[in-house]
């Protein structure tokens, strides 16, 4: 595994996500009020749905940026490729597919199962 190549891939992804975040946050919500009064409820519902979608997308982009930055710090610290939870090596195939992965597959699976249980409550 070539750390220099991985760093370059992560830095490119960081730039791409930063551009995406900048473009996305630059979009202003629709403030056109030319809709007839009879459609105000539909308009309000549509705006709420659009706003919720924007929030989810912004959170996703910000989390992806944080994951990439975390991976870059792990490269600097010499801990890249080690699972944040158990400390074992993350398989190279997983890192090739997801260079910013910070958990081995077992720990990621446990994390996802825990989230599912928590959300089911």
16 — pLDDT class (breaks 50, 70, 90)? very high
Q: Estimate the crossing angle of helix 3-26 against helix 40-77, to 10 degrees.
A: 160
Spatial contact of 68 and 14, defined as CB atoms under 8 Å apart:
yes
Query: What is the model's pLDDT at position 101?
Result: 97
Q: What pLDDT, on the 0 to 100 scale, is given for residue 77? A: 96
At 48 the pLDDT is: 83
Section 65-83 average pLDDT: 97
Helix (H, G, I), strand (E, B) or coil at 79: coil
Q: What is the pTM for the complete model shown?
A: 0.78
The pLDDT of residue 24: 75
Distance CA 86, CA 99 (A): 18
pLDDT digits (tens, 9 = 90+) for 78-95: 999 999 999 999 999 999
| pLDDT of 57 | 92
Please say whether the structural domain 3-120 has been given the CATH code 1.20.120.910.
yes
Confidence category of residue 109, pLDDT binned at 50, 70, 90: very high
> Which pair of structure tokens corresponds to residue 107?
């720990």
Distances (CA, A) of 40 to 32, 34, 35, 47, 53: 12, 10, 7, 10, 20
Listed by start position, the domains of the chain span 3-120
Task: Convert the pLDDT of each residue in 19-66 to its tens digit.
Answer: 999 887 765 555 454 555 556 767 777 788 888 888 899 999 999 999
């Amino acid at each position: 595994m070539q750390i220099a190549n991985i760093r370059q891939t992560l830095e490119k992804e960081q730039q791409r996500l930063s551009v995406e975040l900048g473009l996305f946050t630059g979009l202003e919500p629709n403030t056109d009020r030319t809709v007839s009064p009879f459609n105000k409820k539909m308009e309000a519902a549509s705006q709420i749905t659009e706003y919720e979608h924007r929030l989810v997308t912004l959170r996703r982009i910000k989390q992806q940026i944080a994951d990439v930055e975390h991976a870059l710090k792990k490269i600097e610290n010499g801990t890249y490729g080690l699972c944040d939870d158990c400390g074992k090596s993350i398989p190279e195939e997983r890192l090739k597919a997801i260079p910013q992965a910070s958990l081995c597959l077992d720990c990621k699976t446990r994390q996802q199962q825990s989230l599912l249980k928590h959300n089911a409550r």
